[in-house]
Amino acid sequence: MKTNNIKKYGIFTLLFVLGLVAGALIWSGGDGSSKEKQATDEHEHAESEDTEYTCSMHPSVRQDEPGDCPICGMELIPVEDESSEGTDVQDFEMTETAMKLAQVRTSEVTAGSRAKEITLEGKIAADQRKVYSQVVHFGGRLEALNVSYVGQKVEKGQKLGSIYSPDLVAAQRELLETSKFKYGSQEMLEAARQKLKQWKLSDEQIEDIIQSGEVKTNFDIRADVSGYVTKMKANKGDYLHQGDYLFEIADLSSVWVMLDAYERDLQWLHEGQEVKLKVNAFPGREFSGTINFIDPFIDENSRVAQVRAELNNSNRKLKPGMFIKGRVKATMKEGSDALLIPKTAVLWTGERSLVYVQNQEAGEKHLFRMREITTGQTLEDSIIVLDGLEQGERVVSHGTFAVDAAAQLAGKTSMMNPETETASAADLVKEGETAGVQEKDKITDVEKFEVSTEFQQQLTRFYRDYIKMKNSFVDTDPDKVNEHANQLQNSLENIDMSLLEGEAHMQWMDYLKILKKDLNTIAGSSDIEVQREAFVTFNPAFYKAVKAFGLIDVKAYYQFCPMANDDKGAYWISEQKEIRNPYFGDEMMSCGENKDTIGG
């Protein structure tokens, strides 16, 4: 009986639930599909509203609609879902689309020989072993001088002038008196002869004096060597002492090539290496020499050591002082093969060298992870890896900054976040300036001085030459940068600081010290990275100078890139508002923003 009652109550309960469901469906207007569709639409709408867009180069930029990056102008991309994880907690994934937009490419770690081509610059100099001092061998008054200017060519034995010597007159008389006595002491006659020989008179000259029986008052000075007069130390009528020198004569049948080698290149150079040389005066012609000396000391100011080679100059076409460039194909003596990666793969933070390694076991996924490495010498387009990588691994070689930005967004270990602490990119990058920008380089109020129009004209000419050098940086052409830096040095020398007075003069001296130092570095190097390092500190000083003293009929723009100078940021001055980055060139041409307008 009880069992039948339970069954009866169960059937009534089931019918009641079915009735409730049927009623809900009727009141909803159908079979429930419309409510399901409404829920789906609401989800998609919420998802659309939640979509954020960012710049692959500037991850601090976030907005809720597509567009272009306000800093570099790149097209914004959706912020990818960061929920996917790699095989390791520090691996992060980039989509195929993000990699294409950021132009990310990878390269294999390979083994290769430690070889590179080193470019050296310097000047031709006289062979110091063939530079002679033409001295007088007896004291007296210079009666005649046949050499009248520096650069005059003389031949060995040529008469250079004549001298009256009281001591020589007295010695001749002694010789003649001794020679008159047929039965005189032979020892005395020989002593008189030797006295004249000590003054460089020849046996023939002495014999002529004895035969003529006359005392000569003036004696000829004859060239001891052939060559070109490089210095004149006496004039007609001067009284000279024995050992005083008249001229310096250089034999230019061979010349020295004195080249400047930076500290980092000395390990590649050794005596006996062949060096190919090109002289600016003879375009298209190449000379060949051999390194025969490397200076054991480094110049404390220029940080270079002199490297010397010797050239035959029998035709006398090579002149001391000519500019010359040398190329040495060098191979390290110790060790043959080394692990090599492209230079563009390495991020330097000052103390650490970082790369992003691709996880090759991730299949179709693009997983990356930052790794610290130890680097060795820098070759032409690559760098030696001493520790931290293995042959066959793949590293990001192009678009490295974009990958680092993706690591920051994902909260993974990155250049700016080495301890993997959670930090928003907005805290690291604000208004296009990174946390590493030095306070002294930021835009500050500059005291303006009333100066003469003439000084402003000279400063304006310097500015126009500066623009040529800046554009060579944009083109990543170190030879052109070097050429224009030399022009800038001349322009700087032509600025007459005597036109300034008081505080203005002192302020210009402060700027001048920085400008000269950095220009010397830029003009003295053919390495674009060394040149750009000096360009970083040159620009703030030049900007303050033009703000302080003014330019004539010029409108210029003070521009800033937060990613230059190892992410510390760097400035430059441009003649146009459009960004053309001198620190990256074609790699990141539009990275930067206008910070100030000059003149106009």
Q: What is the 3-state secondary structure (H, E, C) of 365-398?
A: CCEEEEEEEEEEEECCCEEEEEECCCCCCEEEEE
CA nearest neighbour of 118 among 314, 353, 390, 332:
332
Reduced to 3 states (helix: H, G, I; strand: E, B; else coil), residue 78 is strand
CB atoms within 10 A of CB 271: 12
State the DSSP code for 399.
S
Min mean pLDDT across 78-92, 481-495, 582-596 is at 78-92
Phi, psi (5° rounding) for residue 487? -65, -40
Do the bridges between strand 62-63 and strand 77-78 make them parallel or antiparallel, or are there none, so unpaired? unpaired
State the DSSP code for 355.
E
pLDDT of residue 420: 45
Give the integer Cα–Cα distance in Å for 486 and 262: 19
Instruction: Provide the b/e sequence for 374-395 (b: ≥16 CB within 10 Å).
Output: ebbbbbeebbbbeebbeeebbb
Q: Tell me if 159 sits within 8 A of 219, measured CB to CB.
A: no
CB atoms within 10 A of CB 125: 16
Q: Between residues 306 and 187, which one has the greater pLDDT?
A: 306
Residue 258: is its pLDDT beyond 90?
A: yes
pLDDT of residue 210: 79
Size (the chain), residues: 600
CB atoms within 10 A of CB 140: 22
Q: Tell me if 259 sits within 8 A of 269, measured CB to CB.
A: no
Give the integer Cα–Cα distance in Å for 208 and 172: 11
pLDDT of residue 181: 66
pLDDT tens by residue, 505-546:
888 888 888 998 999 899 888 899 999 999 999 999 999 999
Does this model's pTM top 0.95?
A: no
pLDDT tens by residue, 77-118:
776 554 444 445 678 888 888 888 888 999 999 887 777 788
Structure tokens at 53: 């867009």
Phi, psi (5° rounding) for residue 257? -105, 115
Residue 306: is its pLDDT beyond 50?
A: yes
Helix, strand, coil percentages for the chain (3-state, nearest 5): 35, 30, 35
Confidence of residue 573 (pLDDT cuts 50, 70, 90): very high
Give the integer Cα–Cα distance in Å for 471 and 475: 6
Give the integer Cα–Cα distance in Å for 181 and 193: 15
Phi, psi (5° rounding) for residue 172? -65, -45
Q: Which residues fall within 8 angstroms of residue 117, CB to CB, at 6 or more apart?
A: 327, 328, 329, 330, 380
pLDDT of residue 68: 81
Q: Tell me if 103 sits within 8 A of 94, measured CB to CB.
A: no
Give the integer Cα–Cα distance in Å for 435 and 544: 22
Element holding 293 (H helix, E strand): strand 287-294
Phi-psi region of 172 (alpha: psi -120 to 50; beta: other; left: phi over 0): alpha
Query: Quick one: CA torsion of 32, 34, 36, 38, rounded to 10 degrees?
Result: -150
Q: Tell me if 275 sits within 8 A of 172, measured CB to CB.
A: no
pLDDT of residue 438: 42
- What's the mean pLDDT in 1-27? 43
Give the integer Cα–Cα distance in Å for 130 and 224: 12
Give the integer Cα–Cα distance in Å for 109 and 239: 76
CA nearest neighbour of 368 among 359, 380, 360, 355:
359
Percent of the chain whose predicted confidence (pLDDT) is above 70: 82
State the DSSP code for 499.
G
Phi, psi (5° rounding) for residue 248? -110, 125
Tokens 């310096």 label which residue?
248
Q: Between residues 558 and 381, which one has the greater pLDDT?
A: 558
Measured CA to CA in angstroms, residue 455 lies from 445, 462, 550, 572 at distances of 22, 11, 9, 22
Structure tokens at 341: 């990666």
Residue 448: is its pLDDT beyond 80?
A: yes
Give the integer Cα–Cα distance in Å for 339 and 386: 7
Rg (CA), the chain: 41
Reduced to 3 states (helix: H, G, I; strand: E, B; else coil), residue 325 is strand
Tokens 């200017």 label which residue?
149
**N-terminal to C-terminal alpha carbon distance within the chain:** 106
